[in-house]
Chain A
Amino acid sequence: MTTNARTRTLIEESVLPPLVALVVALVAGDLLIMAYGQSPGVVWRTLLEGTWGNSYGFGQVLYKATTLTCTGLAVAVGLRAGLFNIGAEGQLAAGGFGAGLAGLLLPGGTPAVIAIPVCVFAAVAAGGAVGSVPGILRARFGAHEVIVTIMLNFIVLALLNYLVSAKLHVPETLHTPEIHAGAVPRLSAAFAAFHGSAANWTIVIVLLAAALLWWFLFRTRAGYELRAVGLQPAAAEYAGIRGGRVWFNALVTSGALAGLGGINFVLGYKHYYEDGFTGGAGFLGIAVALIGRNNPVGVVFAALFFATLSQGGLAINAMVPKQIVEVLQGIVIIAVAAAVPEVRRLLRQSVSKRKPA
């Protein structure tokens, strides 16, 4: 196989599965919409108009994609190391709480150049701290990270719920008082067209994190070690890589990335921590990582896709129930999961057919 052919196969392998999934989901969506007595053409157009078709909708897509990118990156970095982190939901909440707490503790007039980094650091540290628990348990005792991260979700969410509802909340609400410092400006402050949407400059921080992660995974030695352990732990160990340390680092990084997502809501949107703000974004991160093929660039696009579905669901809610969008998400995920091995098999066939010639 020439280098050229290999690049082509690589592109086909990474682009075709999502494409297959997309057309399957579109047709399934058509059928669902018709089953509900509506016109697919009108519903899809409304969905696009409500998301990419106007600046407010687009802003909302960006806002939602920001959080999903973080949780998607969190899951992706875990999977690259061969670890399945299902704890992004709790880590995201912890990150948001950390940012909110830091913003509350800082005195009123703290300049943004100090306050924002402090709050961002608090979010990352809180998420990373939650991630370190399965990290230690995995590295030291070999405890399975799936079990630990799932269970840790309950513990973290219950603890935060207690802290907010018993100690910190504003009466008759489920949220803390507003932070004193560390607010990230909205995009609408610079671009008036985004008026009303929750999109804020957090997105730049998150894109930077995605770029950094890409560089780390594919351009540094530690990233190479992480991927090596993920592909074949025994071989990596034999090559002199210490698997336990890599696992620990991967889970802490994963938690930190999920925690970073918390600043989008807390510093960028509401300026307070609200119980339950995560709304499943942590779990959706698993799907984002899957569709994004555990590649930071892919994750960003997958996050945009799921954010579009989520915001579009609101736009078409007048015509069809929102559950249709949830079903579509499920179909996309199943289709990608099924399409990846299937696409690879079909491509192999065509390659081996090509070879003898």
Chain B
Amino acid sequence: MRKLSVFIGALLAVHVALLFVHPAGAAVPTVRDGLDIGVVFDLGGRGDKSFNDGAYIGAERAAKQLGARIRYVEPGEGSDREAGLRLLAAEGMKLVIGVGFIFTDDLTALAQEYPGVAFAGVDFAVTVGADGNPEPPPNNLAALKFREEQGSFLVGAIAALVGNSKKVGFVGGMDSPLIHKFEAGYRAGVKEVCPECEVLVQYAGVTPDAFRNPGRGKELALSQYQQGVNVIYHASGSTGLGVFEAARTMNKLAIGVDADQYHEAPGHVLTSMVKRVDNAVFDAILRVKEHRFAGGIYNFGLAEDGVGYVYDEHNRALIPDDVRARVEALKAEIIAGRIAVPSSR
């Protein structure tokens, strides 16, 4: 008994002593008067090399260039999403950003409750009213949406031009309208430069698990490569890691999605259709700083640099100059509105 009391007492003493330690550079709760921005990540959280990391990069850039002070919240479970948003709104942040469509309901409710705070939702799911028109979000809530079909169109053109085959491949994650958007744009891009080309389309499944099934991704990709496909575009989350694996095994090419995925399989990643979540987040913070934030639906397409494809020192060797020129011309056409890219199949 005595031993135990001594043990507990000693630990308590250590604990109390440590309470008074103040390391240099420790965060001190700040007074809210500057450009205070709150960001709540999706459950996947930081380190997903896509979406959440994109938002993080954008916010960090705003911290550097605009002097914004950013507070991040990483929810641990479903009810933490609302709790995180609420925590930040109650602290008087100038702007609170929810990263992911899953925040849609919570953002809408909180925007009404805190009319003095600006809110933004990345990939916010705009509801369609009974009349078929989208219902505008509250006027302090910005819905940041992306025209994934436009970026997919361009990588479709690259796939067809570089592939040197009459067949190109597509591997989707969950068979759902969101991914059909990628497929439709890609298909249109392929047909634009190669009307006689065939697009092989396969989905990994019908549940969200289809976004995290690399085994299935590899299986689908191998079968497509064996049918004579040379380039596969994947829009399938971590299922795509299997597609890259297959590309490496078969010595073929794959196209990444959301972020630059070159490093997943160096030499086998033709390009990536990047979704510039960072730009959208930075843009929203900039609007707040310049006092021109307004609610509504913001679409980030090629014109806004919200989507695009990767062309840098890593993959320059894979994309010939004439292909690059052709794709840039297509991009200009889309921005000018002379090509309309379909967003559903």
Contact = CB atoms under 8 A, between A and B. Distances in A.
Interface of A: 12, 16, 19-20, 23-24, 26-27, 30-31, 34, 37-42, 44, 46, 50, 56, 60, 63-64, 158, 161-162, 165-166, 171-174, 196, 198, 265, 269, 274-277, 279-281, 310-311, 313-315, 317-319, 321-322, 325-326, 343, 346-347, 350
A41 B15 contact: no
Contacts of B7: 20
Which residue of A24, A30, A321 has the most chain B CB atoms within 10 A of its CB atom?
A30
A34 B18 contact: yes
Contact of B4 (A56, A318, A343): A343
Nearest to A321: B74
Interface string B163-179: 00000000000100110
Interface of B: 1-4, 7-8, 11-12, 14-15, 18-23, 25-29, 43, 45, 71-80, 82-84, 86-87, 90, 101-102, 104-105, 113, 125, 174, 177-178, 206-209
A276 B8 contact: no
A319 B27 contact: yes
B125 A172 contact: yes
A313 B102 CA distance: 21
Contacts of A24: 11
Contacts of B125: 172-173
A310 B77 contact: yes
Contact of A318 (B21, B22, B72): B72
Contact of A27 (B15, B25, B43): B15
A347 B1 CA distance: 6
A38 B76 contact: no
Contact of A34 (B8, B21, B75, B90): B21
B8 A19 contact: yes
A26 B4 contact: no
Nearest to A274: B78
Contacts, number: 141
B8 to A, nearest CB: 6
A16 B4 CA distance: 9
Nearest to B30: A318
B28 to A, nearest CB: 8
15 contacts: A27-B11, A30-B19, A40-B18, A42-B27, A56-B86, A173-B102, A196-B86, A269-B79, A279-B79, A314-B87, A317-B72, A317-B73, A318-B73, A322-B45, A325-B76
